[in-house]
Amino acid sequence: MSLNRVLSVGAEFPAFSKKAVVSLEKDQEFRTITEQEHRENDQWLVMFWWPKDFTFVCPTEIAEFNKNYDEFRDRDAQLIGASTDSEFVHVAWRRDHEDLRGLRFPMLADTSKSLAEDLGILSEEEKVAYRVTYIVDPQGIIRWVSVNDLNVGRNVAEVLRVLDALQTDELCPCNWKKGEATLTA
């Protein structure tokens, strides 16, 4: 039985400084990313984790987040994908997989697994990250977390719906969608 203690709503997102793949252009592939970037730019952070590169479910999710990249940008959200694979594995996977070549967001490499450990999202057996999505406000506070088991992909439309709801800073009823009325207390 797993004893994970997933960092959750109301907690401050952990500090990190990690290499990420940001391009396939020679000598432009890598950049260091920190948790401070979204705060300094007064942006929300949406960070989603997948278990392993070169697998089957993961690229479907990554490609769907990429298709919706402008939706996140329009909501002043920095989008970051992450796993515990190295930046070199990330760049090789991007070059190898047609759906990943044109990614517009960074692929964070948590090779030390320190951030995944701080977040409490490592599977007990393989020590790979679960399919976890965090929405973090511009002050660095976790406002939403969703955890899927290793074999079940997530719904990007739901991530956007929740981001919209959080950004209203109002009471949003069940199944609320952007543009619908919110509740008054």
The residue assigned the tokens 């399919």 is 131
Q: Of these residues, 58, 82, 91, 129, which one is catalytic?
A: 58
The sign one gets for the Cα dihedral 54, 55, 60, 62 is negative
Contact between 132 and 110 under an 8 Å Cβ cutoff? The reply is no
| Total number of residues shown for the chain | 185
What is the CA angle 124-128-130, rounded to 5?
Answer: 85
Whole-angstrom Cα distance, residue 93 to residue 100? 8
Tokens encoding 19:
């290499």
CB 117 within 8 A of CB 109: no
Catalytic annotation present for 172: no
- Catalytic positions, please? 58
